Amino acid sequence: MNESNIITLFVVQIVSICSAIRTNEGAYTKIGSKYYYIEMEKKLMWSTALEKCQILGGHLAHLESEKELAAISEHLDQGKWYWVDITDVKSEGEYVSSTTNRQASFFRWMDGDPNNKNNNEHCVHLIYYKSKFFMNDLACDSTISYICEMD
């Protein structure tokens, strides 16, 4: 790598750090008993959101109770969809938490879901429906908002 490439790389990193600071990216907030970062602007595929949360020192949100879902719901934009840490990409119908690598323990599915539409819905997100947020399985390459959680 020559000197100008190194300088370019350096500048790119500085710019991305400044952008992160400006947008408060990765600023975790205590909601209920946990710390979350809710991405309001960027939309990513599930796997990219998973990596992004790791880069930001956490993991995709691991919801464990109705109480946690209700608490985080207060902070979400009802017009947006948000990835959480559940996927059945390895084995259809077996919903695993990517945080624990074990079967997920808490679900609040929307009526009629999970429906694995077109045999291609393996990642779980939150969606506002009528009066509250529910879970739905969605194609993993959909680009939507996401919620990170830090332990």
Q: Which residues bind Ca ion (CB under 5 A)?
A: 88, 113, 115-116, 121-122, 136-137
Under 8 Å CB-to-CB from 118, ≥6 apart: which residues? 139
CA distance 28 to 146: 13
Q: Which of 62/122 has CB closer to Ca ion?
A: 122
Query: Smallest Cα–Cα separation from 75: which of 23, 34, 20?
Result: 34
Please state the closest distance from residue 149 (CB atom) to Ca ion, in A.
Answer: 23
Closest CA to 93 of 109, 77, 82: 109
Q: Give the residue with the Cβ less far from Ca ion, 16 or 116.
A: 116
What is the closest distance, in whole angstroms, from the C-beta atom of residue 120 to Ca ion in the complex?
8
- Which residue, 111 or 151, is less far from Ca ion as judged by CB? 111
For Ca ion, give the closer residue by CB, 113 or 149.
113
Distances (CA, A) of 86 to 46, 107, 134: 10, 9, 13
Rounded to a whole number of angstroms, the minimum distance from the CB of residue 142 to Ca ion is 11
Angle at 124 between CA 80 and CA 149, to 5 degrees: 75
Nearest-approach distance from CB 125 to Ca ion, in angstroms: 9
